[in-house]
Structure 1
């Protein structure tokens, strides 16, 4: 059975990215839910969990804008074996939540580390230096940061992986790790090019036992129709590239010659 491609629709943005109109994709409509934007209350978290319950954490999940990145926590709650997360993000997402009972797009990694017994480590690529320095000391043995310029070399990744990864990995990509030529998001962005991201993902997908991958970072709708169309074109291109990369590597891994 092929890993499924899931499209989680919170803001209607994916409806305008035509490459996602494929019968193979599974759409999960979340546009009717309240209490989900940036902060996710208990009722909304339960509703989202029920909607993804029939699906596996394996495969590729598109989860809308970075405001909903906490959904990665709900997907990884479904993993029942030891794993590490490889997170491409300009922000570590480890701030204490303003509301203790709520998940948020800025606190979900901390929440995972505090509550998920299967999560061993989080390996973060592309975070801003000042945000790296703000990670509390108590987490530093389980949170590792990796420089994007070094990681493009396969031997460097092998060395890093040998030191820090002893289990399968789940990959989460926030497109705010990319520069503004490669993605348009509603958060401040990093400096990575789309080509660099694809190179890094290729190395990981080919060298690790990857459970699944999710992608977020869509730009929320704008009042300026020209800017909105430009955002859709740039983000749609990035998503199409990432989808194509994933499908190529999955297809190669499933072919008889790969075994």
Structure 2
């Protein structure tokens, strides 16, 4: 794992957070590319892909608002071996796109299964019970949903549904309860501690090809100094710090590269949650 993380600047939300400032991070400005919010045109997606290709590769990426979750499609397209996607999300993101010329935050999982032959299976953790209603029959055999109501207590509960040795993990913080994070979408009930257990189980048994995180509360000059805006920035910064530390902890410990300082930092943060 490269120590460098990627901060994708679509919507300026990370300017109100500090979890990354003591890390080696690559700030990738994408805010000048039009037609990217919620729905992304193919020309815009090509421009984003070209800009990302120019930057150093990273294992952990922070995307911004869930409106840009479709960027995960680009990260998945780089994987050149059979793999599974573990999507930790309150939504399935398997709705048909309104146009073949568009990819959206609600369609990217479907389009990934349709266009990326190395993606063999998708495990969605934390979606609501009606999630299967949004899974088209054409991909139903490749998708497993573990709803927010299912207990996730054993490692086999999760990894038993993953057939490949390699996985990619994508986290949308709308899977978390409002006590843990604030997003602009309806949210689930997962706690950060439960999320940590899920990540730990995956890292212990699978080769993780990469991780990305989205689900920020959109910020603009009219709301960043409001009570809700400040609360969202504070909670999401704390959640992002927790996820960052846990990903580093589990990666290094699994690869026998864990330092005492890293272990202590992650352990201290866990005690605060």
* Distance of aligned partners of 1:3 and 1:84 in 2 relative to their CA distance in 1, 3 Å threshold: farther
1:255 equivalent in alignment to 2:256: yes
Match of 1:105 in 2: 105
User: What is the CA-CA distance between 1:51 and the residue it aligns to?
Assistant: 1.3
Match of 2:151 in 1: 150
- Is the 1:184–1:235 contact (alpha carbons within 8 Å) kept by the matching residues of 2? yes
- Is the 2:87–2:171 contact (alpha carbons within 8 Å) kept by the matching residues of 1? yes
Provide the rounded CA distance (Å) in 2 between the counterparts of 1:112 and 1:233: 33
Match of 1:32 in 2: 32
* Distance of aligned partners of 1:226 and 1:94 in 2 relative to their CA distance in 1, 3 Å threshold: same
1:81 equivalent in alignment to 2:74: no
Match of 1:219 in 2: 217
Deviation track 1:126-178 (CA, whole Å, cap 9, x = no partner) reads: 111123223122211101112454333224334x24xx422300000000111
Deviation track 1:42-72 (CA, whole Å, cap 9, x = no partner) reads: 2210111011114576510100000000000
* Secondary structure, aligned partner of 1:72: helix
Match of 2:4 in 1: 4
Match of 1:46 in 2: 46
- Is the 2:169–2:211 contact (alpha carbons within 8 Å) kept by the matching residues of 1? yes
Query: Equivalent of 2:203, from 202, 205, 218?
Result: 205
Unaligned runs of 5+ in 2: 260-273
* Distance of aligned partners of 1:208 and 1:77 in 2 relative to their CA distance in 1, 3 Å threshold: same
Aligned residues: 255
User: What is the CA-CA distance between 1:22 and the residue it aligns to?
Assistant: 3.3
User: What is the CA-CA distance between 1:23 and the residue it aligns to?
Assistant: 5.3
* Secondary structure, aligned partner of 2:141: coil
Provide the rounded CA distance (Å) in 2 between the counterparts of 1:256 and 1:89: 29
- Is the 1:56–1:78 contact (alpha carbons within 8 Å) kept by the matching residues of 2? no
- Is the 1:57–1:79 contact (alpha carbons within 8 Å) kept by the matching residues of 2? no
With the length of structure 1 as denominator, give the TM-score of the two structures: 0.92
Provide the rounded CA distance (Å) in 1 between the counterparts of 2:102 and 2:3: 30
User: Over aligned residue pairs, what C-alpha RMSD do you find?
Assistant: 2.0
Match of 1:246 in 2: 247
- Is the 2:19–2:238 contact (alpha carbons within 8 Å) kept by the matching residues of 1? no
1:68 equivalent in alignment to 2:71: no
Unaligned runs of 5+ in 1: none
Provide the rounded CA distance (Å) in 1 between the counterparts of 2:214 and 2:18: 17
Provide the rounded CA distance (Å) in 1 between the counterparts of 2:64 and 2:258: 35
* Secondary structure, aligned partner of 1:32: coil
